[in-house]
Structure 1
Amino acid sequence: MPLDKLLSTTTFRLALVYLALFLASASALLAYLYWNTAGFLARQTETTILAETSALVSQYDEGGRAALVHGVITKARDPRQNLYLLEDQNGEALGGNLTSWPLMASDTDGWLSFVYPRRTVEGEVEIHEAIAVMTRLPEGMSLLVGQDIEERRQLEAQITNALGWAVGAMIVLGILGGAIISRNLVARIDDINRTAKDIMGGELSRRIPVTGAGDEIDQLAENLNDMLDQIERLMLGMRQVTDNIAHDLRSPLNRLRNRLEVTLMKPATQEEYAQALEKSIHEADELLGTFNALLLIARAEAGAARDGMDWVDLSALAQDAAELYEPVAEEAGLRLDLAIEPGIEYHGHRELLAQAIANLLDNAIKHAAHPGGIGEGVIRLAVRSRGARGAEVSVSDNGPGIAPEDRERVLGRFVRLEQSRNTPGSGLGLSLVSAVTRLHGGALRLEDNEPGLRVVIGLARRARHQSHEAAAE
């Protein structure tokens, strides 16, 4: 990836912002640790000096000048980092490991700082830094007790140097990490952009690659792929609808035109004209019914009917549909059984739910077993509550049923199986039921009724049972 493109990415800029915040917090923490460590070492040094001074002053108070000189000489033999010097009123050294009184500068707390020459083991002379406290004693004596702080200064310098390298390493690693993260993220976003361009170019089968990491980009890719699948299904459905309309509606339109043309070509009685017009009106009604079904499916799939949703008495809706189709079933020699739980209310679209139930009953009446077949023709309409999961509407028959491999296909528009070719219809009934079920967030299942078919509309949105609520009250 070009450097200028990498530097201009939002991910890299966010990485730099995060790095700056991290450096600020880390630097504050390191500065606190340094200040705390250096302060502890300084306090330890000062405590040691004050303790040594107090001990020597106590020796002087107890044993006088001779005890003090002896104490200074004794401590100076093994001084470690401590420095001692005792002078009389004439400036002559009485004891200690300093040869002369050093040039000193004092700070605000009364502590004196100076440098002095120190001989190493190899015999070389080094200039070291020290701090000390001077005490005036009786008889004009001056006592200087100090400590070499060169090692402390070196330790502080090493800590400061280490902190500097640590901050520098954090900056370098942060920039490299930001570049790597940005490069990987930009590469995945480029995959999305390339896929989008390919799809806009007409390759509708392209999908965004999923790495399997399960992160936000993968979730976005999966959601976009699901959306693309839905778009592809809708476009294929539109193409199929166009082809099916051209194929299935051309024949009735041709019949309608030919009938009218034949009627006009020869002299006919008024009764013959009336019959031709009645058949033409019947053909036109079938065409209008087909177009109305297509419009209802389109509204349901587009979600345009959601604004018309309200609480619906699903039990009463199914009861009305049963009363409407019961005479039709009796005329066809079928028995309609009901298993409707009373008082089930559901938040949905009244007209579309009523149309879906009506389509299922109409479909069952057309395909249920008739007298003379195997057993009595029975259709069963059931409505039951599923509590917080919603409600369920099912219509079953004991007709020939639908093979498992055809159950998904019959939900498409204008799909009619071979055994249905001789029955009236446009092949839109189950397609409308499927669209209405998806509109309500549910699932449509086609099951084996052994024998026959059982169609179940699982309505997933919240339903409420009036009788249960009344009992609770």
Structure 2
Amino acid sequence: MKRFTSRLLHLLRTSALRLALRYALLQVLLLAVALAALFWVVNRYVNQQISTSLATELAALKSLPAPMLATRVAALAETPGPARGARHYLLLDATDTRQAGDVLAWPQWLPSDGTQRKGELILIEHDDDTHPARTPPHDDHEATPLPAVGTTLASGGRLLIAQEPGAAEDLREVALIAAGVVLLLAASLSLTLGLALGWQWLHRIERVNQTAGKIAAGDLTQRMQGDGRGNEFDLLATHLNAMLERIERAVAGMREVSDNVAHDLRRPLARLKTRIEVVLHQPRDAATYQRALADTLTDADELMRTFDALLSIARLEAGGETIAREPVDLATLARDMADLYADEANDSGRAFTLDLADGVATPGSRTLLAQALVNLLDNAFKYSAPGVALGISLHQDASHARLAVIDHGAGIATADFAKMTERFARADSARSQPGSGLGLALVKAIAHAHQGELTLRNTPGGGLTAELVLPLAAMPE
């Protein structure tokens, strides 16, 4: 009960309930305007019907001869109210003497030109309870205005007919009561629906807040729960979960990078420190100092390359690197990179083959794609023995260009393919070689920045094939 009361109080303070109440109020106001318009139409219709009926009877009575008219009016006035339609009559002669009827005198507010007016009448009271009678003005009771119409007769006399409210008034009262009931029901229903909607929204928002609280506390594995209906809450949950997934990967990557940086950069820094300490504590000749400085510069360059690679990867993954989306001729790029490594291939006795399909282009940055291809070629030359054949291939399928560097060296285990594209990842067989383990990670980041991917697979007969799968573009002119 306490939890229910707490949630209800919380609901009363929510913007969802305020919105629901405004919506309910707007609905009630619109319905009230509609009912008022309907009542006005009904009232106007009733008044028109009364006016038409009075005018019709007045014309019928006016057409009667004078003796017959007096007899007819007297008979109508003596007829019980319900039987004569709840009407009152007055017939005056040319001297305004009352000849017949149950109205005592002609009212001052009613003209005798056939125009209908509404006002109070002084009626003659009767002992018969079934005969409707208005109370004279001098009585303590309030008189009721009645619609009436009067005309001047050919004889100089005047004739008046007035209508009791009767069924018309009942219809108005029923219409007012019905309008009030409808408004009350509409307000109650709107408020109930508003509370139910606010309660439902509050429940959903509470789930989001609970999940957000856990995430704020450091649990990045939490995800927003949708209701599976494909509505705006599901769409919001999908977008938030995608954002959380990316944040979790970024944080995990930062932690991994921090650990790897601390581990992998400690060795070159320690080597620098040791070399400098040895040189400082033991006198050496100029040549020894020069070699020590040269080695220190080499290690410093390696550290700079490592940090540059880390910075490039971070910028590419964060989207901070602006990439020109211009068509790049991949065959020309591959030939240019092959020319750079031709001498090294000859010196190491390697067969360096090219299998390039012309007319294949991808949208992107030629500089970044060249860097990716250089990294793949560096790995192929570095981690394969002299004399092992290497090659570059370029082909395309229906929607992608496939640029691959192929070697026939020792290769790596299939289980290590995914790990090799992470920062500072190195195969056990490669740890004796210089390097930071960032080459494939940078290639992967460049591929993703171009809406492509880097795939690794075993080369038939042994070795590794590293392939860039990139979107196609029209060839540059």
Compute the displacement of 1:156 (Å). Answer: 1.5
CA distance in structure 2 between the aligned counterparts of 1:125 and 1:405, rounded to whole angstroms: 106
Cα deviation for residue 238 of structure 1 reads 1.5
Give 1:56's aligned residue.
61
Partner of 1:33: 38
Which of 413, 435, 455 lines up with 1:446 in the alignment? 455
The 5 A counterparts of 1:53-452 are 53-57=58-62, 59-60=63-64, 64-65=65-66, 68=69, 81=85, 83=87, 85=89, 87=91, 89=93, 90-93=97-100, 99-101=102-104, 106=109, 110-114=116-120, 130-255=146-271, 281-306=297-322, 309=324, 311=326, 313-315=328-330, 317-329=333-345, 331=348, 333-339=350-356, 341-342=358-359, 344=361, 346=363, 348-366=364-382, 377-381=390-394, 392=401, 394-397=403-406, 399=408, 406-418=416-428, 420-421=430-431, 424-440=434-450, 442-446=451-455, 448=457, 451=460, 452=464
**Using a 3 Å threshold, how does the CA distance of structure 1 residues 152 and 269 change in structure 2: closer, same or farther?**
same
Asked if structure 2 preserves the Cα contact closer than 8 Å seen for 1:410 and 1:430, the reply is yes
Amino acid across the alignment from 2:21: L
2:90–2:102 CA contact under 8 A, matched in 1: no
Deviation, 1:434, is: 2.4
1:13 is aligned to: 18
Q: Is the 8 A contact 1:334 1:365 kept in 2?
A: no
Residue of structure 1 aligned with 2:476, choices 446, 466, 473: 466
Note the residue ranges of structure 1 that are not aligned, 5 or more in a row.
Answer: 468-473
**1:471 aligns to what?**
none
* Partner Cα distance (1:385, 1:357) in 2: 23
2 CA distance for matches of 1:165 and 1:102? 42
- Superposition deviation, residue 34 in structure 1: 1.7
TM-superposed deviation, 1:345: 7.1
Identity of matched residues, %: 32
Distance 1:328 1:35, change over 3 A: farther
1:257–1:153: structure 2 CA closer, same or farther, 3 Å change rule?
same
Further displaced range: 321-330 or 218-227: 321-330
| Contact kept in structure 2, 1:344 and 1:464, CA below 8 Å | yes
**Residues in 2 aligned to 1:359 and 1:42: alpha-carbon distance in whole angstroms:** 95
Distance in 1, matches of 2:131 and 2:61, equals: 31
1:455 matched to 2:459: no
The alignment partner of 1:132 has SS state of: strand
Q: Structure 1: which amino acid aligns with 2:205?
A: I
Give, in whole Å, the separation in 1 of the partners of 2:202 and 2:352.
65
Deviation at residue 113 of structure 1 after TM alignment: 4.3
Letter in 2 for 1:36: V
**1: CA distance between counterparts of 2:385 and 2:12?**
73
Measured at CA, do residues 445 and 70 of structure 1 come closer, stay the same or move farther in structure 2, by a change above 3 Å?
farther
Contact 1:339-1:383 at 8 Å conserved across structures: no
Q: 2:36 aligned with 1:23, yes or no?
A: no
Residue 105 and residue 32 in structure 1: after superposition, are their counterparts in 2 closer, same or farther (change >3 A)? farther
User: Is the CA contact (8 Å cut-off) linking 1:130 and 1:148 kept in structure 2?
Assistant: yes
Q: 1:465 to 1:439 in 2, by over 3 A?
A: same
After superposition, give the CA deviation of every residue in 1:346-365 in whole Å (9 maximum; x if it has no partner). Answer: 3x455433322322333445
Give the number of aligned pairs. 446
How big is the alpha-carbon RMSD for the aligned residues of Structure 1 and Structure 2?
A: 4.3
Q: Distance in 2 between matches of 1:39 and 1:183?
A: 44
Give the TM-score normalised by the residue count of structure 1: 0.75
State how far apart, in whole Å, the 1-side matches of 2:413 and 2:168 are.
90
Superimposed CA distance per residue, residues 39-79 of structure 1 (whole angstroms, 9 cap, x where no aligned partner): 1222122122222222333x42xxx3355467768988795
